[in-house]
Amino acid sequence: MSDIFLHQNLSQQQTLAPQMRKSLEILQSSTLELTHLIQQAIETNPVLEDITEMVSLDAENDSEDADSLDHLNETDDDWRDRSILEGRSTPWTTEDEERRQRLYDSIVAPVTLQQHLQQQLDLSMVDPDIRSAAQAILGNLDDRGFLDLPLRDLGSRMEISPKTLGKALTLVQSFDPAGVGASGIAESLLLQLERKGEKDSIEYRIVRDHLEDLARKRHPQIAKALGTTVERVTEAASRIGRLTPNPGGDFNPTGNPYILPDVVIERDDEGRLTARLTGEHLPNLRINDFYKDMIGKDGIDTKARQFLRDQIRDGRSLIRSISLRQETILAIAHKLIERQKEFFEKGPRFLRPLTMNDVADELDLHATTVSRAVAGKYMLTPQGLMEMRSFFATGYQTSDGAEVSNAGVREAIQQLVANENPAKPLSDESLMKGLSKQGIKVARRTIAKYREQLGILPSHLRKSYS
């Protein structure tokens, strides 16, 4: 028998308390997610109530320095309650409630590609066997609208005759959008041309017989094979380029694309950039006074008193976490205005390198707190809707000492390509030299990586023969 040994080890392990986990969850939640969390809390915690008043969580910043984070270090429960309830609320009117309802009503799940095709199948007057086969085809389309397995395999798997399956496929390929039901991009493009009545066109012949040459922009070879001019092939290539390689692209497979910004960057009456939270529609919580008074009354059961104390404690913790979330996001937004002022005023080219550690140090926060606070959050800026994470990026230093972010470098590459001669597109080496003239030293392999991220083809595939 083998010997049995007992070992005792002493180790330290950090465990998050439930309230801390909930606080982190609230910090990471988007505004819409936070709305759901609050509604859930109201339903499960009887001491919480929505006083249906709007709170301006950034009102105090008008009377104090926006960069001061003393309020973030306050931990007194009563102060937190006052920060939410005292003197910064306006009545919630019927008109406000209607606006809020319109907001929620506008957030509707879009029709998916499968639903769109199913609706057309339901309206089709066909034999039951063909309808059943078409249903099987719809169930095997990917998000682009292409069959994700060979038709023969589908027929054998579903025990559908080739004749019936062929008729069903013809039916599906007649549906909108044009190009669905194809086995790949080439067949999809041919279906789109057929729908336009261009089956006898040069465009159809190019897609059918010379698609690889077209992808590599070998226009002279195509022209020679078809007995036409390079100019005619270039014109046909332009028309083919207006077809879609992704028929299902207009349909969102993941559901709701609606994004509600958490912060709005706008100018005040004096023209200065300022940040405003968009949480005015969030339910405003407080602890119901009836339950507070009940704890102190005689005759209440001990278990009931402890239950109420636990619920009140959890309710106050939730209110503090929401308040801290809002204050933290707002503080980070103000710091972004300060550090990325040129971007807000001039555009993406002027986005500067910035790390979360930089902001965390200036706000006396931990970098992970900043990371959680900006996760999934969006800002509506003068330059459009942007994810807060996009303001944090590494970058390069120009020859004159200025800093430019990775996004700024990509913007510069995009401008160089936009202004190039289509007959002599810039190679990665030429792009590197062009950036160097602007004082930006970037390696050629980095240029290639950024070009691919921008969806820009290599120079030999961008060449135009027109």
Residues in the chain with pLDDT values less than 70: 1-19, 52-110, 252-258, 280-281, 395-404, 465-466
What pLDDT, on the 0 to 100 scale, is given for residue 69? 46
Query: What's the predicted TM-score (pTM) here?
Result: 0.53
Taking the C-alpha atoms of residue 113 and residue 247, their distance in angstroms, rounded to an integer, is: 9
Taking the C-alpha atoms of residue 311 and residue 332, their distance in angstroms, rounded to an integer, is: 31
Q: Which CATH class for the 394-462 domain? A: mainly alpha
What pLDDT, on the 0 to 100 scale, is given for residue 258? 61
CB 258 within 8 A of CB 104: no
CA triple 304-305-306, angle to 5 deg: 90
> pLDDT digits over 207-249, tens only?
999 988 888 888 899 999 999 998 998 888 888 888 888 888 8
What pLDDT, on the 0 to 100 scale, is given for residue 86? 40
Taking the C-alpha atoms of residue 417 and residue 426, their distance in angstroms, rounded to an integer, is: 7
CA 339 to chain centre: 24
Q: What's the mean per-residue pLDDT of the chain?
A: 78
Q: Which part of the chain has CATH 1.10.10.60?
A: 394-462
Segment (H or E) for 120: helix 113-122
CB 137 within 8 A of CB 147: yes
In Å, the largest CA–CA distance within the chain is 101
Question: Residue 362: exposed, middle, or buried by beta-carbon count in 10 A (0-12, 13-18, 19+)?
Answer: middle
Backbone phi and psi for residue 296, each to the nearest 5 degrees, phi listed first: -85, -5
Helix, strand, coil abundance in the chain, percent, nearest 5? 55, 10, 35
Taking the C-alpha atoms of residue 328 and residue 337, their distance in angstroms, rounded to an integer, is: 14
The answer to whether the bond into 257 is cis (omega within 30° of 0) is no
CA triple 205-233-221, angle to 5 deg: 85
What pLDDT, on the 0 to 100 scale, is given for residue 376? 84
